Structure 1
């Protein structure tokens, strides 16, 4: 190893130590815990080693419900939020006057407290003894019947959760895509106009390929973020997500550790490893797909 490589590794050493201590070691530790049956965190003892924890978690109705909720959240919010962000970013890029003002307005929800936004959504959607909520007022105004979006049917609660999640993640995606669109070489667009290329073809053949690395980045981070969703559901439905039927995988892990029926770190570790495997698999699939559809200039 030459001197330059040694110097480079010395620069990287603090970051590598940080990752090793706070990421790699905990992951290995959780993996070990997931096979220790009946682990007691107080006495640091367990009565067996095996796959029972995984069997229990995979047959737990609360976990299966959490998996269903999480996958629905991922499948709906990631493509919808990315598509909306791209559409809004394109509109913002075409605006000359007050462009910075509109960008700031769209970015405001991102810097707003998550629980505060959740409370606003509860006011909009929750039925109370005094009001059916602003959204139900609008539904009634158009001739529809009121729907209890917070304590009512499953589809209504999932709709609110997806809408809330999209609202929270949209500003960051708009900011990233607006920056990506601004970095596209304008000479490409000039050449397309000279050739008489339509706007749709210009978008599909020039704009989209040029910003595809950023779109791919947002899709990957969107998948990971949606799989880690927990605070969104708590903000809307409270801490007892199992009773509301709106728990997520991360919420299930938290409940197993600290909830009212908690104190089961082995089950929590098994659920966490399952979540890690799901996220890793989907990320690998996205990486394989990106080789054909992402263009790095």
Structure 2
């Protein structure tokens, strides 16, 4: 029998450095995910001892018959449909702008990144003042411009979710911008020079050179931005708490309250697993489309 090779000191050092990551992943991510899956198939929808009676798909069926839960999915889908394209378009335009040489470019990049590292509670307080329907600067400016009935923003049934999207875009715009900026700086300048010699204009260079060159990064950002759009509990909770009524009650907020306010843990777990499946299906469709697009 061959002797088991002892790991070298370098291998032991690598294991020691990686061990906390794997232990943390196992304890704080993998175990909670598996426990959520288990809870979604049992009857633990009350306060008291853990009830592990198997009920099959009952919790999932109840989700589809629950009007508030289905409204949460629709609100989240509406949020994503607006948030993702707006975020990607604005971040790309901003990246193109700050990729050019101008005075205070470094300071501008720093200012762009500041909202991303700001405390979300402080951001929510500031934007609540900005969008105050009575004394907020936005509505005061609109009144000066002749708008007699300015929006209620966070307090309006038709404007609450849009207002939350605006704030969420402002907070997270920096990350996508920095990634796009890195991708733009990786595009060879020789390609642009060759296109200029051939008489290509700015728009033609953008369509024929920039877009294909940054397509892998664009696909990455589409996926991460889409996933992030469903992780909007904190900003919705702080700005509107799902109101007025249920006009901004996204599914992440609904899952949290079902579990930790109404103690319907299994019902909340079923909603969470369905949300995971929705994101997974959308991601797989995008992945398949991206592979076909790359082959063409």
How does the TM-score come out when normalised to structure 2? 0.87
Report the Cα distance in structure 2 between the residues aligned to 1:180 and 1:116, rounded to whole angstroms. 31
Contact 1:121 1:164 in 2 (8 A): yes
Q: Which residue matches 1:140?
A: 143
Local SS of the residue matching 1:150: helix
Report the Cα distance in structure 2 between the residues aligned to 1:227 and 1:35, rounded to whole angstroms. 23
Please tell me the root mean square deviation across aligned C-alpha atoms, in Å.
Answer: 2.6
User: C-alpha deviations, 1:126-155, integer Å up to 9, x for none?
Assistant: 235xx2x22211221222122211222x22
Local SS of the residue matching 1:127: coil
Residue 112 (str. 1) matches residue 112 (str. 2): no
Report the Cα distance in structure 1 between the residues aligned to 2:130 and 2:231, rounded to whole angstroms. 25
Report the Cα distance in structure 2 between the residues aligned to 1:63 and 1:121, rounded to whole angstroms. 28
Report the Cα distance in structure 2 between the residues aligned to 1:270 and 1:118, rounded to whole angstroms. 30
- Which has the higher mean CA deviation after the structures are superposed, 70-79 or 143-152? 143-152
Residue 55 (str. 1) matches residue 70 (str. 2): no
After TM superposition, the runs of 4+ consecutive aligned structure 1 residues lying more than 6 A away are none
User: C-alpha deviations, 1:42-86, integer Å up to 9, x for none?
Assistant: 412244422221122222222122112111110001111100110
Deviation at 1:19, TM superposition (A): 3.6
How does the TM-score come out when normalised to structure 1? 0.87
Q: Which residue matches 1:95?
A: 101
The structure-2 alpha-carbon separation of the partners of 1:242 and 1:254, relative to structure 1 and needing over 3 Å to count, comes to farther
Unaligned runs of 5+ in 1: none
Q: Which residue matches 2:32?
A: 26
Report the Cα distance in structure 1 between the residues aligned to 2:233 and 2:128, rounded to whole angstroms. 16
Q: Which residue matches 1:85?
A: 91
Report the Cα distance in structure 1 between the residues aligned to 2:231 and 2:251, rounded to whole angstroms. 7
Q: Which residue matches 1:264?
A: 264
Deviation at 1:25, TM superposition (A): 3.1
Report the Cα distance in structure 2 between the residues aligned to 1:45 and 1:122, rounded to whole angstroms. 42
Report the Cα distance in structure 2 between the residues aligned to 1:65 and 1:81, rounded to whole angstroms. 24
Local SS of the residue matching 2:153: coil
Contact 1:109 1:167 in 2 (8 A): yes
Contact 2:45 2:263 in 1 (8 A): no
Contact 1:184 1:210 in 2 (8 A): yes
Report the Cα distance in structure 2 between the residues aligned to 1:275 and 1:32, rounded to whole angstroms. 16
- Which has the higher mean CA deviation after the structures are superposed, 142-151 or 178-187? 142-151
